[in-house]
C-alpha cells in the first residue's frame, strides 16, 4: 500500500533513531503495568488486562508511534451538531465508539493525540450500538483534549455513564491512567524518545490542565524541565529526538455532511527546545467552548494542528497532503472490515477494486430482490410479511449481513425458484416459462460480453466447473443459482 | 460495523410507508412496473434513514425525485428542502486526447527513475479506481475529495447491507408463506 510503503520509508529515513521503535511498541505496556500503579489515583482495576488489548489494537492500527496527528475531526462537525435526529445520534455513537477505539490505540503508542485521528472515522453510519448522548460526546471530546476538570473525575463520570453500554467501556479507564503512567515511565526510561515526547506533551498538558494525581504535579515539573532540556539535546539524550513540529490550521465547516478542508497551514518555527504541544480541536464547536483548560494558542475558530514528523518536509502542502493521506488510509482500514475478503488485500488500488465490486454486487442484489418481490407478490401486500419478518430481522441482524452475492445464492435460493416460477405461472397466467425469459428476450445482447463474463465468474466461484447454460430453466440448484444470478446481471442492463 | 436490528426495523417501516403509496395504483401489473415501485420505495427509505446528512443519500433522493416526485415528497415530509440539495462541483471539460498528449510529454521531460515510474503508474491506477468508485456510489461526482468519498462509501455500504438484509428476509418470508 502506498501509505505503508511511505511509512516505512519514513522510518528508514530516520535510521538509528527509530531502531527500537518496534521494541518500543511492545515495551510500553509492561512498563505501564509497572509504573502505572504508582501514580494514578484513578481506579485502575481493569488497567493491566487492557494493555494487551490496547497493544494488539496498537499493533494493527498504529503504524508510526511518533506520528503525532492532531488531525481529524474532519467533516463531522455538521453531523455531530445535528444531534437531535436519531441518525446523527447514531452518528454520534459511532464517534464515541471510534473515539474509544482511538483511546485504545493510544496507550501502546504513547501518543495522546492519536485519538482524534482514529476517531474521525464515520459519524453517519451507525456502527455502534449504544445510545450515546451528546453529553458523552462532549466528555469524550474533553478526554482527547486533556482539559476540563480532573482527569479521574472525567474518567469516573464517564465510566458510570457508560457502564451499561459498551464493551469497550473499560479501556477508557486505562486512558485516564495513560498520561500519568507515561509521565512516570518517561521519567524512568529516558531512552525512549517516544515516551519522552509523550512526557513533554503530557506534562505540558498536565501543566495546562491540572491533571489530577498528586504524583503528576511533581512529575510534570520534573519531566517538563527534563523534557525541555532533552528537547534541546534532541538525539543526544535519547535515541530519538523530538520531531520538528509545525502547526497546520484548518477551518472547520459547520455544515452538515461537509468534510474538513484544509485551507492553509501555518508554519511555526518550532525548535526542539521549545515546548511542543499537540493542540487538539474538538470538531464540535460546543466542545471548543466548553473546554476550559485548553492550550492558550488554540484558537476558538476550530483549527486543527498537525505536526511534521522528524525528517519530513515542513512544507505546508506536503503536510496537508500527508494528513489527507492518513485520513484516507484510516478510512480504508475501516472499509477492510466492512468489505468481506479485504483483510489480505493490501494496496489502495486492489482494495478500491474490491470495494467497487462489493458495492456493485450489493446494488445488483437489491435489484434482484426487488424483482423477486415483485413477482412473488403481485398484490404487493407485504404487511403480513412485515410482521413475520420482524422476527426474521431480529435473527438476521445478529448474523452476518449481505455476504458476497455468488456465495449466497446457492444456499438461499434453491427452494425459491420453484415457488417463484409456479407463482408467476399461476398468478400471471401468461405463457412465461420463467420470469427470466422475457427479460432475456427484452434485452438484446448489448451487454452480452460483460454479462457472460459475470456469469462465468459467478459459476467459477460457486462450482469450479463452468458448464452451466446461460438460460436457466432447470430446477437444479446449479441452475437455480445461475437463474438467481442471471436476473441480477440482467438488471444491470436495465436503465 | 454491521447493520443493527434497529436500522433494519426503521428501514422496513419506511419501506412499508413507501409501498403504501404505490398500492392504490395496483394497476401496474407488469412485473417491471412493480419492481420499479419496490425498488424506488426501498431506495428512498434507505436514503431517508440518513436524513440528508450524507451526500449519497441526497443524491439518491434527487435521482428518485426525478422519477417519482410524489413518493419522495410524501416520505420525506419532515426534511427540509435545502439539506437535500447537493452542491454540484464545477466540472472542467477536458479534451481527453489533448490532456493525454500533454501528460505524455510531461512524463518524457521529467527525469525517470524506476521508483518514480512505478509510483506514477500506481497513482494512475488509484485514480482510475476512485473514478470507478465515484460512478458506483450515488452522488459520487459531488464528493470533492477522496476522504469524503471513502466516508460516504462506508456509509453507503452499511445502508445497502441493511436494505439487502431486510429485502431478503421479506422475500424469504413471502416465499415461505406461499409454499404453505
Give the domain ranges of chain A.
316-376
| Cβ–Cβ < 8 Å for A351, B169 | no
Which range of residues forms the domain containing residue B30? Answer: 5-179
In whole angstroms, give the CA distance from residue A250 to residue A49: 38
ipTM summary value? 0.90
Chain-chain contact of B153 with A87 (C-beta, under 8 angstroms)? no
Give me the total of CB pairs closer than 8 Å, taking one residue from chain A and one from chain B: 246
Beta-strand ranges (E) seen in A165-303 are 249-251, 261-264
The confidence score (pLDDT) of residue A473 equals 39
**C-alpha triplet A376, A378, A383: angle, nearest 5°:** 85
The confidence score (pLDDT) of residue B83 equals 60
Q: How many structural domains are present in chain B?
A: 1
| Cβ–Cβ < 8 Å for A289, A300 | yes
Whether pLDDT at A460 is above 50 = no
Closest chain B residue to A5, measured at CA: B119
How many residues appear in chain A? 495
Which chain A positions have a beta carbon within 8 Å of B27's beta carbon? none
**Joined grid coordinates for residue B145:** 475529495
* Per-residue model confidence as pLDDT tens digits over A38-85: 444 444 444 444 444 444 444 444 444 444 444 444 444 444 444 444
A397 touches chain B (CB under 8 A): yes
Q: Which residues pair with A306 in a beta bridge?
A: A69
Residue B92 CB neighbours (<10 A): 5
* Per-residue model confidence as pLDDT tens digits over A303-351: 777 777 777 777 888 888 888 888 888 888 888 888 887 777 677 888 8
Chain-chain contact of B150 with A328 (C-beta, under 8 angstroms)? yes
| Cβ–Cβ < 8 Å for B62, B86 | yes
Longest CA–CA separation in chain B, Å: 74
Q: Helix, strand, or coil here: A72?
A: coil
Which chain A positions have a beta carbon within 8 Å of B41's beta carbon? none
Which chain A positions have a beta carbon within 8 Å of B9's beta carbon? 390, 393
Distance from CA of B107 to the nearest CA of A (A): 20
Chain-chain contact of A359 with B160 (C-beta, under 8 angstroms)? yes
Residue A68: partners with Cβ closer than 8 Å, 6 or more residues away:
A111, A113, A114, A197, A201, A243, A245, A278, A306, A307, A309
Q: Helix, strand, or coil here: A110?
A: coil
Which chain A positions have a beta carbon within 8 Å of B159's beta carbon? 125
A387 touches chain B (CB under 8 A): no
* Per-residue model confidence as pLDDT tens digits over A261-275: 444 444 444 444 344
Chain-chain contact of A349 with B129 (C-beta, under 8 angstroms)? yes
In whole angstroms, give the CA distance from residue A430 to residue A408: 30
Chain-chain contact of A371 with B169 (C-beta, under 8 angstroms)? no
Closest chain B residue to A122, measured at CA: B151
* Per-residue model confidence as pLDDT tens digits over A114-173: 444 444 444 444 444 444 455 555 555 555 554 444 445 545 554 454 444 444 444 444
In whole angstroms, give the CA distance from residue A248 to residue A270: 12
Quickly state the pLDDT bin for A360 (edges 50, 70, 90): very high
| C-alpha radius of gyration, chain B, whole number | 21
| Mean pLDDT (chain A, rounded) | 50
Chain-chain contact of A366 with B7 (C-beta, under 8 angstroms)? no
pTM value is: 0.46
The confidence score (pLDDT) of residue B88 equals 66
Name which of B22, B37, B126 is nearest A352 (Cβ-Cβ).
Answer: B126
Alpha helices by DSSP H, A146-168: 151-162
| Tally of helices (H runs) and strands (E runs) in chain A | 21, 2
Chain-chain contact of B174 with A377 (C-beta, under 8 angstroms)? yes
The confidence score (pLDDT) of residue A222 equals 46
Q: How far apart are the first and last CA of chain A?
A: 36
Q: With a CB-CB cutoff of 8 Å, which residues 79-98 of chain A face chain B?
A: 79, 82, 85, 87-88, 90-91
Query: A28-39 and A193-209 helices cross at what angle (nearest 10)?
Result: 30
| Burial status of residue A266 (CB atoms within 10 A of its CB: 0-12, 13-18, 19 or more) | exposed
State which residues of chain B have pLDDT below 50. none
Q: Among candidates A213, A218, A207, which has minimal Cα distance to A147?
A: A207
Q: Helix, strand, or coil here: A262?
A: strand
Alpha helices by DSSP H, B49-145: 55-67, 69-75, 96-109, 114-136
Any idea what DSSP says for residue A41? -
**Residues of A398-413 as b/e, b for ≥16 C-beta within 10 angstroms?**
eeebbbbbbebbbebb
Name the CA dihedral angle for A14, A16, A17, A21, rounded to a multiple of 10 degrees. 100
CATH 3.40.395 at A316-376, yes or no: no
Closest chain A residue to B148, measured at CA: A259
Chain-chain contact of A360 with B147 (C-beta, under 8 angstroms)? no
Any idea what DSSP says for residue A339? S
Which chain A positions have a beta carbon within 8 Å of B163's beta carbon? 366
Closest chain A residue to B167, measured at CA: A369
Amino acid at each position: 500500500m502506498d501509505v505503508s510503503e511511505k511509512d516505512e520509508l519514513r522510518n528508514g529515513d530516520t535510521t538509528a533513531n527509530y531502531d527500537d521503535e518496534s521494541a518500543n511498541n511492545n515495551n510500553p505496556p509492561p512498563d505501564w503495568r509497572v509504573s502505572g500503579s504508582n501514580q494514578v489515583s484513578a481506579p485502575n482495576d481493569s488497567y493491566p488486562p487492557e494493555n494487551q488489548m490496547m497493544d494488539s489494537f496498537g499493533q494493527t492500527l498504529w503504524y508510526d508511534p511518533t506520528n503525532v496527528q492532531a488531525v481529524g475531526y474532519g467533516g463531522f462537525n455538521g453531523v455531530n451538531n445535528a444531534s437531535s435526529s436519531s441518525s446523527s445520534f447514531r452518528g454520534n455513537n459511532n464517534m464515541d465508539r471510534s473515539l474509544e477505539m482511538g483511546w485504545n490505540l493510544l496507550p501502546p503508542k504513547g501518543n495522546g493525540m492519536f485519538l482524534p485521528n482514529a476517531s474521525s472515522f464515520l459519524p453517519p453510519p451507525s456502527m455502534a450500538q449504544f445510545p450515546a448522548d451528546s453529553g458523552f460526546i462532549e466528555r469524550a471530546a474533553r478526554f482527547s483534549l486533556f482539559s476540563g476538570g480532573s482527569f479521574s473525575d472525567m474518567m469516573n463520570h464517564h465510566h458510570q455513564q457508560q457502564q451499561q453500554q459498551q464493551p469497550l467501556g473499560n479501556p477508557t479507564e486505562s486512558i485516564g491512567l495513560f498520561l500519568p503512567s507515561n509521565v512516570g515511565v518517561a521519567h524512568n526510561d529516558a531512552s525512549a524518545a517516544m515516551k519522552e515526547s509523550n512526557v513533554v506533551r503530557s506534562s505540558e498538558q498536565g501543566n495546562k490542565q491540572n491533571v489530577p494525581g498528586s504524583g503528576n504535579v511533581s512529575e510534570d515539573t520534573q519531566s517538563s524541565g527534563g523534557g525541555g532540556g532533552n528537547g534541546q539535546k534532541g538525539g543526544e539524550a535519547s535515541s530519538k529526538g523530538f520531531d520538528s513540529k509545525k502547526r497546520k490550521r484548518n477551518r472547520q465547516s459547520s455544515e452538515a455532511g461537509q468534510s474538513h478542508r484544509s485551507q492553509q497551514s501555518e508554519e511555526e518555527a518550532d525548535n526542539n527546545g521549545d515546548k511542543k504541544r499537540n493542540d487538539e480541536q474538538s470538531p464540535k464547536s460546543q466542545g471548543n467552548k466548553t473546554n476550559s483548560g485548553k492550550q492558550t494558542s488554540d484558537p476558538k475558530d476550530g483549527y486543527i494542528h498537525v505536526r511534521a514528523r522528524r525528517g519530513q518536509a515542513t512544507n505546508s502542502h506536503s503536510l496537508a497532503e500527508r494528513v489527507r493521506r492518513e485520513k484516507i488510509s484510516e478510512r480504508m482500514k475501516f472499509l477492510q472490515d466492512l468489505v468481506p475478503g479485504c483483510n489480505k488485500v493490501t494496496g489502495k488500488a486492489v482494495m478500491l477494486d474490491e470495494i467497487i465490486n462489493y458495492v456493485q454486487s450489493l446494488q445488483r442484489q437489491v435489484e434482484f430482490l426487488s424483482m423477486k418481490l415483485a413477482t412473488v407478490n403481485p398484490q404487493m401486500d407485504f404487511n403480513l410479511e412485515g410482521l413475520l419478518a420482524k422476527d426474521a430481522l431480529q435473527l438476521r441482524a445478529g448474523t452476518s449481513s449481505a455476504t458476497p452475492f455468488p456465495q449466497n445464492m446457492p444456499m438461499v435460493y434453491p427452494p425459491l425458484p420453484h415457488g417463484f416460477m409456479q407463482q408467476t405461472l399461476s398468478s400471471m397466467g401468461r405463457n412465461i416459462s420463467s420470469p427470466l425469459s422475457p427479460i432475456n428476450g427484452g434485452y438484446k445482447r448489448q451487454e452480452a460480453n460483460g454479462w457472460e463474463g459475470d456469469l462465468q465468474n459467478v459459476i467459477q466461484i460457486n462450482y469450479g466447473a463452468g458448464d452451466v447454460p446461460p438460460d436457466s430453466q432447470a430446477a437444479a440448484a446449479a441452475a437455480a443459482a445461475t437463474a438467481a444470478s442471471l436476473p441480477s446481471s440482467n438488471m444491470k442492463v436495465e436503465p | 460495523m454491521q447493520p443493527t436490528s434497529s436500522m433494519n426495523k426503521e428501514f422496513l417501516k419506511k419501506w412499508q410507508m413507501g409501498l403504501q403509496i404505490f398500492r392504490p395504483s395496483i394497476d401496474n401489473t407488469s412485473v417491471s412496473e412493480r419492481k420499479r415501485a419496490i425498488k424506488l420505495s426501498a431506495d428512498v427509505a434507505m436514503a431517508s434513514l440518513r436524513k440528508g446528512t450524507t451526500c449519497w443519500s441526497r443524491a439518491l433522493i434527487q435521482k428518485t425525485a426525478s422519477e417519482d416526485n410524489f413518493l419522495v415528497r410524501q416520505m420525506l415530509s419532515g426534511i427540509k428542502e435545502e439539506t437535500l440539495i447537493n452542491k454540484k462541483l464545477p466540472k472542467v471539460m477536458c479534451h481527453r486526447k489533448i490532456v493525454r498528449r500533454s501528460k505524455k510529454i510531461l512524463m518524457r521531460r521529467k527525469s525517470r527513475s524506476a521508483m518514480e515510474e512505478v509510483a506514477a503508474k500506481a497513482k494512475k491506477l488509484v485514480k482510475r479506481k476512485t473514478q470507478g468508485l465515484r460512478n458506483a456510489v450515488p452522488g459520487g461526482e459531488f464528493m470533492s475529495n477522496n476522504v469524503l468519498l471513502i466516508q460516504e462509501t462506508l456509509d453507503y455500504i452499511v445502508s445497502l447491507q441493511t436494505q439487502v438484509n431486510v429485502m431478503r428476509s421479506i422475500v424469504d418470508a413471502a416465499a415461505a408463506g406461499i409454499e404453505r
